[in-house]
Amino acid sequence: MISQSRRTLLGRLAVLPLAALAGACSKADVVNAFVTRDGYDVVEDLAYGTHERQRLDVYRPHSATGSSPVVVFFYGGGWNSGERGDYLFVGQRLAAAGFIVVIPDYRVLPEVAFPDFLEDSAQAVAWVGRNIAEYGGDPDRVGMAGHSAGAYNAMMLALDVRYLEAEGWSADRIGAVAGLAGPYDFRPFDSTLLRNTFGRHPDPDATQPITFARGDAPPILLATGLDDTTVLPANSERLEAAIRQRGGDVELITYPGVGHIGIVASLADPLPETAPVADDLIRFLSEKL
């Protein structure tokens, strides 16, 4: 049974702004304080590169068969913040569904800008492809997912094949990709954050996932909250239309009353009255991987 205090706390988390949630997670592990530690193991701090931010954690469910499907989850944070340890609740929820879950860190602003964080993300996925069998995962059943900036990273790797190919891995080997509240079509760069992240690149179109919409992309799930004022739902709607127009396998799910943080916070919230984001994500990944 869910306690009233937990019910109240999770309700408050659903309406926190992005910066507030990031601060709460890093300082007090507000969400993760309620996460069960049973049923899975976490192998922490594995290096996929030489930089201190090029490290990842692997969640292994005790039910893993030795050839389990794998999900690489990229967290958000505006490309200028985030820590993989803050997303224990995501690793636990997906591991409970039988997935091997990999959560990498990646370099962020101001140290880097586009496309450095994508190159890190591609390097992490290539590491998974080459090493995940040692942890019970099947390298031929790898999917990607992410929230916000992390959804952008995942979608760019799936659509613009150059990043994975540069790491000696093919985007064709990705079985599915899911984006929660992702920015996919956000020109012009009308904020300081976006200008610092993408504005120095000589080809602005090359920074946009929608530029690379293609019919032969991996199956795609786009999920967005209709009350999201941080990353507008139109990002998902336009990308869905572009991929569908090209004959691609794409699904769009919208959640009334759900905001930017609520959509990812719901992965930690089993209350029946919340949006079924976890159920939809797990159903999609299970069908495609």
Q: For residue 111, count other CB atoms closer than 10 A to its CB.
A: 11
pLDDT tens, position by position, 225-257:
999 999 999 999 999 999 999 999 999 999 999
What band does 55 get if pLDDT is binned at 50, 70 and 90?
very high
23: pLDDT strictly greater than 50:
no
Range in 9-18, 24-33, 208-217, 270-279 with the lowest mean pLDDT: 9-18
Predicted local confidence at residue 35, as pLDDT: 74
Q: Yes or no: say if 285 and 143 are a contact pair by the CB < 8 Å rule.
A: yes
Q: Give the whole-angstrom CA distance, residue 255 versus residue 201.
A: 34
At 197, the amino acid letter reads T
Which residue has 């992390």 as its token pair? 150
Predicted local confidence at residue 274, as pLDDT: 77
CA neighbours closer than 13 Å in the CB half-sphere of residue 40: 28
pLDDT tens, position by position, 196-217:
999 999 999 999 999 999 999 9
With the C-alpha atoms ordered 99, 50, 179, 82, is the resulting torsion angle positive or negative?
positive
Q: Give the whole-angstrom CA distance, residue 53 versus residue 83.
A: 9
pLDDT tens, position by position, 268-281:
866 556 799 999 99
Predicted local confidence at residue 14, as pLDDT: 46
pTM (two decimals)? 0.91
- Rounded to whole angstroms, what are the CA distances from 41 to 5, 10, 96? 28, 25, 11
pLDDT tens, position by position, 128-146:
999 999 999 999 999 999 9
Fold classified for 4-288: Rossmann fold (3.40.50)
Let me know if 280 is exposed, middle or buried by CB neighbors in 10 A (0-12, 13-18, 19+): middle
Q: Give the whole-angstrom CA distance, residue 82 versus residue 266.
A: 18
What band does 20 get if pLDDT is binned at 50, 70 and 90?
very low
| Domain boundaries of the chain, sorted by first residue | 4-288
